[in-house]
């Protein structure tokens, strides 16, 4: 898992617009926001990331599942990007419950989004040299940033952190996704 320390991870498999195929050739979808503990319709960025998932410590954690159940991401959501970007490129990866990593190179033009801070119509190309999972596929979708969170194809992928020339996103740990799996998302897009 040293590869995880040397690459910039960007998104986790399981998006409705993307799919990952496991060893049984089953397609896994995920990346869904997690509901608040009172089961209301309020979604919590990075929700359900507590000690319920055992890790192996390969991501710099202690291997005991990371957080004590705190559902607050620690990234900044200050929106200080300068100007209106017209194009962006970056990386998107997914870690499947400390098992393996899917990574995609992404790029695409800015697009209109009435309720977003920024949005890009991106093409994601599976990057097998940065992935140790097999079965990743190329796909396209809208990468949108709104209310301090990042969404790909309308699926939550983490809290957004803005700078003058890029936006980064990540979950604070593993979040639950469809099919009962747990995923960690991370990524960035640099503006041109």
pLDDT the model gives residue 177 = 76
pLDDT the model gives residue 58 = 38
**How do the domains of the chain map onto residue ranges?**
2-191
Question: Has this prediction a pTM greater than 0.85?
Answer: no
pLDDT the model gives residue 181 = 87
pLDDT the model gives residue 180 = 78
pLDDT the model gives residue 84 = 81
pLDDT the model gives residue 93 = 94
The CA distance from 155 to 168, in Å, is: 16
From residue 36, alpha-carbon distances to 43, 49, 70, 177, 190 in Å are 6, 12, 12, 14, 32
Alpha helices in 76-182 (DSSP H): none
Please give the chain's pLDDT, 192 residues, in tens. Answer: 333 322 333 333 333 333 344 444 333 334 443 333 333 333 223 333 233 333 443 333 334 433 333 434 444 444 555 568 999 999 999 999 889 999 999 999 999 999 999 999 999 999 999 999 999 999 999 999 999 999 999 999 999 999 989 999 999 999 987 667 899 999 999 998
């Amino acid at each position: 898992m040293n590869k995880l320390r040397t690459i910039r991870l960007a998104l986790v498999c399981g998006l409705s617009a993307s799919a990952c195929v496991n060893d049984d050739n089953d397609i896994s979808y995920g990346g869904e926001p997690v509901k608040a503990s009172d089961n209301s319709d309020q979604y919590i960025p990075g929700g359900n990331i507590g000690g319920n998932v055992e890790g192996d410590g390969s991501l710099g954690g202690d291997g005991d599942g990371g957080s004590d159940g705190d559902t607050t991401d620690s990234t900044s959501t200050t929106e200080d990007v300068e100007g209106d970007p017209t194009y962006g490129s970056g990386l998107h990866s997914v870690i499947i419950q400390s098992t393996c990593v899917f990574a995609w190179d992404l790029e695409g033009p800015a697009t209109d989004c009435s309720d977003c801070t920024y949005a890009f119509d991106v093409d994601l190309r599976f990057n097998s040299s940065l992935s140790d999972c097999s079965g990743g596929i190329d796909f396209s979708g809208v990468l949108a940033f709104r209310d301090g969170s990042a969404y790909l194809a309308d699926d939550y992928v983490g809290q957004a952190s803005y700078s003058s020339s890029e936006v980064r996103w990540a979950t604070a740990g593993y979040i639950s996704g469809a099919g009962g799996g747990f995923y960690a998302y991370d990524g960035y897009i640099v503006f041109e």
